[in-house]
């Protein structure tokens, strides 16, 4: 497919993810390349369309190089390749646009090493070529928090952003020169950063403490990194209590973020008891 078409499709997907609309969006909190990384590397495992297209074209190039028993391959070899070596011969004149693109993938295949690594039962696997060409990121320890969660999709997405410190907190907005006041609107004690909002803020710490106590979990509320490590360890298990801990954490982070937004944009803030009740209700519905 032409690059222009692929970019337009990718633009629509990007706008839908961040704004829910098809118009132009400048609100992307995370680069699209990072979204295409595997979940174990902190991405969402979305398809990088230009790279997938390149992998698919490489499959046609592989078929040409092996003189596969297909009519279109035989026709090209009869009229263009003839007795030449497919890998070293110059690109023939008179080729269509699509055939030139296939021919140009010779370099991609030749630089990928043994082609048998992409072949299973005599068939070229596009997914293997795509994984070979895709950017390799570093593994993240919190992958199970997102992947093994039974919480609502919105809460999982907000937690995913929080784990990468990409939420638009006041401290980040101030660094971007969007606002001047970065004081936490929930406790009015210090700047609103990710680590303060979860759970150094007295209001959010009280909510998280009530959620834990009413769920039968007795532990002291710690800093953000401490709570992430606790949930990360619990998410390794498939027991119902471990799944509940994961859901409680995700729904609490999401609810605190909603409460913060309500205070910032509407100057309204529900009581901690009301927020805790909503958290427990959502966890019960998703369990």
- The answer, yes or no, to whether the previous bond of 55 is cis (omega within 30 of 0) is no
Task: Report the pLDDT value the prediction gives residue 276, as an integer from 0 to 100.
Answer: 96
| Cα 5 from Cα 55, distance rounded (Å) | 17
Task: Supply the angle between the helices 49-65 and 126-133 in degrees, to the nearest 10.
Answer: 120
pLDDT digits (tens, 9 = 90+) for 170-182: 999 999 888 888 9
pLDDT digits (tens, 9 = 90+) for 194-220: 999 999 999 999 999 999 999 999 999
Of 41, 20, 45, 19, nearest in space to 32 by CA:
45
Q: Where are the domains of the chain?
A: 50-133, 143-286
Give the tokens for residue 83: 């007795």
Task: Report the pLDDT value the prediction gives residue 273, as an integer from 0 to 100.
Answer: 96
Write down the pTM of the prediction: 0.86
pLDDT digits (tens, 9 = 90+) for 63-89: 998 887 889 899 999 989 888 888 889
Task: Report the pLDDT value the prediction gives residue 24, as an integer from 0 to 100.
Answer: 66
Mean pLDDT: which of 56-60, 69-73, 133-137 is highest?
56-60
Q: Is 170 exposed, middle or buried (0-12, 13-18, 19+ CB in 10 A)?
A: buried
Please answer whether residues 158 and 256 qualify as being in contact, where contact means their C-beta atoms are separated by less than 8 angstroms: no
Task: Supply the angle between the helices 272-286 and 202-214 in degrees, to the nearest 10.
Answer: 50
Task: Report the pLDDT value the prediction gives residue 272, as an integer from 0 to 100.
Answer: 95
Q: What is the mean pLDDT of the chain?
A: 91
Position 25 confidence tier, pLDDT thresholds 50, 70, 90: low
Least confident range from 111-120, 250-259, 265-274: namely: 111-120
Percent of the chain with pLDDT over 70: 98
Task: Report the pLDDT value the prediction gives residue 65, as an integer from 0 to 100.
Answer: 87
Phi-psi region of 130 (alpha: psi -120 to 50; beta: other; left: phi over 0): alpha
Give the tokens for residue 39: 């979940």
Residue 26 pLDDT greater than 70, yes or no: no
Task: Report the pLDDT value the prediction gives residue 1, as an integer from 0 to 100.
Answer: 84
Please answer whether residues 203 and 112 qualify as being in contact, where contact means their C-beta atoms are separated by less than 8 angstroms: no
Of 262, 249, 253, nearest in space to 186 by CA:
262
**Interior/surface letters 218-253, b for 16+ CB within 10 angstroms, e for the rest:** eeebeebeebbeebbebbeeeeeebbbbbbbbbbbb
């Amino acid at each position: 497919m032409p690059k222009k078409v692929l970019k337009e499709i990718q633009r629509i997907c990007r706008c839908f993810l961040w704004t829910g609309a098809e118009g132009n969006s400048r609100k992307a909190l995370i680069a699209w390349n990072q979204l295409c990384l595997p979940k174990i590397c902190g991405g969402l495992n979305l398809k990088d369309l230009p790279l997938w297209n390149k992998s698919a074209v490489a499959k046609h190039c592989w078929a040409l190089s092996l003189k596969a028993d297909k009519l279109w391959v035989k026709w090209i070899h009869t009229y263009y390749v003839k007795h030449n070596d497919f890998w070293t011969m110059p690109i023939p004149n008179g080729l269509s646009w699509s055939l030139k693109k296939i021919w140009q993938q010779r370099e991609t295949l030749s630089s990928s090493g043994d082609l048998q690594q992409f072949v299973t039962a005599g068939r070229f696997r596009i997914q293997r070529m795509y994984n070979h060409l895709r950017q390799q990121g570093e593994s993240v320890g919190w992958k199970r928090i997102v992947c093994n969660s039974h919480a609502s999709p919105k809460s999982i997405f907000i937690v995913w952003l929080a784990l990468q410190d990409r939420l638009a907190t006041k401290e980040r907005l101030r660094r971007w020169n969007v606002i001047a006041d970065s004081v936490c609107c929930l406790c009015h004690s210090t700047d609103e950063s990710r680590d303060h909002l979860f759970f150094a803020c007295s209001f959010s710490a009280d909510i998280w403490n009530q959620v834990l106590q009413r769920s039968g979990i007795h532990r002291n509320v710690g800093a953000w990194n401490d709570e992430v490590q606790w949930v990360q360890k619990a998410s390794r298990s498939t027991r119902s209590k471990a799944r509940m801990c994961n859901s409680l954490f995700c729904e609490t982070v999401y609810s605190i973020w909603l409460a913060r937004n309500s205070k910032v944009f509407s100057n309204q803030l529900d009581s901690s008891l009301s927020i805790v009740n909503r958290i427990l209700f959502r966890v019960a519905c998703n369990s």
